[in-house]
Structure 1
């Protein structure tokens, strides 16, 4: 029942009176009680700043400093919502994010003030002080004016009575690699429930320390790292920005026991120079996505830390958790009671189960691969003022029916999966990561898992480039070292590499291009294709070995696309 659900405001108030160390940042240490007191002061300030009748939204444009969790907690107590503003956005895009989420207060720091210069935003008058109706009040943390303002609210105590589980708490942007990012909604009840669920799943204890090194404007750091620490009464150690070279030093300094990761973070840590004391720490668990089986095994071998790969759509519509007995390469099974299915979007029918040969090669990818769909009620709470995006997620259900699930339709994740005979689910990439080579459907994630075994690869990305005639060709970007002869021999030795999986093109980079959340920037890689600034090796049709793609080769390829009327597909 709704009345039995907890709120984040209640979890914040639970910290009051707990004088154990609760938050670490650089050389600063705050007790849980001090965190609760600081949160209450900011909540009282926020209550005075938000104009009556306005959407109670506060934008937070900060690195991972103590102010970030304090303002999330403050919003919870005040019945308001935090819009996480991405500091890697620039100009009109940054202004658009602030305006779209209707922020009436914007909290930032001196380092990010230049990002706001020249933006067409309705600042309150004067900027940085009282906000007129319709204006945005700017608060700059660490300044004398900010500290003086907060001092007026010293002595406030946390009162969770204004919040309900249904109160909007987070507006976090997702899927911004192409088009305008969408602001997913997360309520207090959903965030508290997620935190409590992870506490139970991983046995989080009050004496644990959660290391938050992923950016807090992204759902991963808040939902999977900060929220379970808050729910368990555990401590939180913040890193301003992720640093692979500083990772282990931080873990030791703060006594961290748990961390989360996304994208290439694990690969970057593995790329640091090994040391004899790599296992000298208290860290016991990492939870995240996209590490891959090879790197997860290497991380545990080197650091003695188990990585648990989970799956959860950022919007909360579907989740899969690893359990003991999950086979290599699989994410896990659907939780009991969840109605997750792998569905063919064209027929809306469930796909057949995956069939593997003795070497683990998927034999029926054409029919087994489909989009992961939640056909039951889901916790997806929609996007802020984006009905088109809502409709794309909550699409029709079974043929001829629009009744099932949440909001009149099923929840479509936008992710490709296949499911084996025992019900284990395997991630195959985003729907736009599907490759169709010689009329066969391939999954980018499966090829990446194989190429990750190549000794010279620090990170690998696989994606489609158009074939000059029809369908796609496989292209890979490898961060690390590349020897064409050795790479060809490596491919020939992989028993689970299908005949159509070998990359036609291999782009070699020093460092993988990533988004602000350390996910590979696949849209950029696809757009640049083989016409990119980095060295590209290719294996032309009928040739046995890789050779360097020359300017003449590239020109000849473009001419072939043009001749067949497919040149416009390059750079898509």
Structure 2
């Protein structure tokens, strides 16, 4: 079968295929029923979108059958889906919906409290689990994909507007066309040998590119089924896999950690899974996952905007991501000068010894498939400079050309697979009346990604009160669930550069080694003193997960400010349900 040029073509191919195509709890829809449902929604959407407006709809849903049905419907209608993140709050949530020009917002009753009081002029809301929604769809029940697909749809038709954060503050909506999404799906079909009898388990949130591009799209392109989990559950993972016959799933590093934290069972290897594909699991946890569950995890890298990709080959070293894909000319460069960084040097234990010279920003000097940001020319110009695509991610490269992920640039953070902008968190923390200056930056998470650290310079006469600070955070309606600082350090004065900008490079380099008071978010919402004993436990956790090279190093061999011993909370793990 020839490769499809658009997602709409892939949806139309489902028509007449009566094999199971979509599974969710006790619901099973055939591929034909999925195509039929998509056609009905596409016809409704065409009638709802007013002439002259952008053909955009927002989807604020958990992973229910309605999400892939509306993705397929948008493809047929030539519309673009903006995945709306339910961890956003208040004005920031409204901004996401309005910025992307959504004239229709598809949601469910569980998320209606998030929308209470928001000013969303001109936005038509559809609530999927209501009688009114069912009645609205009824007249379109006989629609067929071939009838509802717009004839002018092509590879360049916008398909996704998915948010990614960066140094400019507010999340940017990256554009993904039908052609790029269809090609990405087909590429994974070819790379992993996706079969029609496969079942792709989607437990990562579908408002993220991870689930749509790396899980839903290859299933659609390969004729495989998908199985949905409303929200990720470590304790329910294997039960779902067995119930749905899942053979493939995508992950982020934190999800792998949660799965490994579940109690071991004698039947951990009794399941049909053969492959997991994702990012930031780390070599140590990937090995533990394979040993325990018998499933190979394949680490990949692709910037959210599609501007650079790294492919893993059989000879890729354990801790590396892989080499540049055939289409890309990737380099690790000094972000200030553009000069290539030194080749990585490792000690006998495989730890990087010349990080200061080897770590730099990953750039693509070749032709890039980056398709731009929605109505954000300044962000596009920042992303593509001097003809190069700048990923905003830190890497180092060994003598054989293999690339190793080293973190995010100074004002970007990735927490539990969520991209956050430091500036946005700073704007919220700056409201605290006791703080004279605030800086937010990333410190590496011991397992994957980053944790949020905030440096606070207190106003004259004010002292840091952890209870008051926690209460302040709880009162901020726009503080997303991933934004609260995991660490707070108190500085006598905010360090600045010669141009009076906050010296984030220095703050990040020091990390926990501040020589002053440091507090760590404890159980619940409070903050607890973080002393040398707790730091030692944290350092052991870095080493246990093979991330010791990424841990901030002491500038002079000293520990952080000594404090009375307190209960060690560094190794605490949480298993979400």
Q: Normalised by the shorter chain, which TM-score bucket?
A: 0.7 to 0.9
Distance 1:341 1:282, change over 3 A: same
Pick from 123, 130, 140 the counterpart of residue 143 of structure 1: 130
Pick from 357, 360, 365 the counterpart of residue 350 of structure 2: 360
1:111 matched residue in structure 2: 110
User: Which has the higher mean CA deviation after the structures are superposed, 169-178 or 339-348?
Assistant: 169-178
C-alpha separation in 1, matches of 2:378 and 2:542? 46
2:226 matched residue in structure 1: 236
SS in structure 2 of the partner of residue 350 of structure 1: coil
C-alpha separation in 1, matches of 2:46 and 2:542? 65
Superposed displacement of residue 4, structure 1: 8.0
C-alpha separation in 2, matches of 1:67 and 1:152? 18
- For the 8 Å contact 1:462–1:474, the answer to whether it is kept is no
Distance 1:544 1:295, change over 3 A: same
- For the 8 Å contact 1:433–1:444, the answer to whether it is kept is no
C-alpha separation in 1, matches of 2:445 and 2:352? 9
SS in structure 2 of the partner of residue 411 of structure 1: strand
User: Which has the higher mean CA deviation after the structures are superposed, 291-300 or 344-353?
Assistant: 344-353
- For the 8 Å contact 2:322–2:402, the answer to whether it is kept is yes
Say whether residues 1:416 and 2:415 are aligned partners.
no
The residue correspondences of 1:39-188 to structure 2 (distance < 5 A) are 39-122=38-121, 135-159=122-146, 160=149, 161-175=151-165, 179-188=169-178
The residue correspondences of 1:248-327 to structure 2 (distance < 5 A) are 248-327=238-317
Distance 1:257 1:121, change over 3 A: same
C-alpha separation in 2, matches of 1:12 and 1:332? 32
Tell me the TM-score normalized by structure 2: 0.75
- For the 8 Å contact 1:12–1:36, the answer to whether it is kept is yes
Say whether residues 1:219 and 2:222 are aligned partners.
no
C-alpha separation in 2, matches of 1:379 and 1:426? 22
Superposed displacement of residue 162, structure 1: 3.8
Superposed displacement of residue 179, structure 1: 2.5
SS in structure 2 of the partner of residue 320 of structure 1: strand
Superposed displacement of residue 85, structure 1: 0.9
Q: Which structure has more RCO (C-alpha within 8 Å, separation ≥ 6)?
A: 2
C-alpha separation in 2, matches of 1:489 and 1:86? 33
C-alpha separation in 2, matches of 1:381 and 1:244? 35
- For the 8 Å contact 2:167–2:411, the answer to whether it is kept is no
The residue correspondences of 1:551-562 to structure 2 (distance < 5 A) are none
C-alpha separation in 1, matches of 2:62 and 2:550? 44
C-alpha separation in 1, matches of 2:547 and 2:124? 57
C-alpha separation in 1, matches of 2:378 and 2:535? 49
- For the 8 Å contact 1:485–1:545, the answer to whether it is kept is no
2:404 matched residue in structure 1: 426
C-alpha separation in 1, matches of 2:3 and 2:396? 37
Superposed displacement of residue 358, structure 1: 2.3
Superposed displacement of residue 490, structure 1: 4.9
- For the 8 Å contact 1:81–1:168, the answer to whether it is kept is yes
Superposed displacement of residue 448, structure 1: 5.7
Distance 1:44 1:444, change over 3 A: same
The residue correspondences of 1:437-456 to structure 2 (distance < 5 A) are none
1:190 matched residue in structure 2: 180
Tell me the TM-score normalized by structure 1: 0.76
SS in structure 1 of the partner of residue 510 of structure 2: strand
- For the 8 Å contact 1:191–1:227, the answer to whether it is kept is yes
Say whether residues 1:328 and 2:289 are aligned partners.
no
- For the 8 Å contact 1:371–1:416, the answer to whether it is kept is yes
C-alpha separation in 1, matches of 2:128 and 2:541? 53
Distance 1:75 1:485, change over 3 A: closer
Superposed displacement of residue 28, structure 1: 0.5
Unaligned 5+ runs, structure 1: 123-134, 397-408, 436-442, 452-460, 505-538, 551-572
- For the 8 Å contact 2:446–2:541, the answer to whether it is kept is no
Distance 1:422 1:503, change over 3 A: closer
Pick from 380, 383, 388 the counterpart of residue 378 of structure 2: 388
Distance 1:248 1:118, change over 3 A: same
1:33 matched residue in structure 2: 32
Equivalent residue pairs, number: 475
User: Which has the higher mean CA deviation after the structures are superposed, 349-358 or 60-69?
Assistant: 349-358
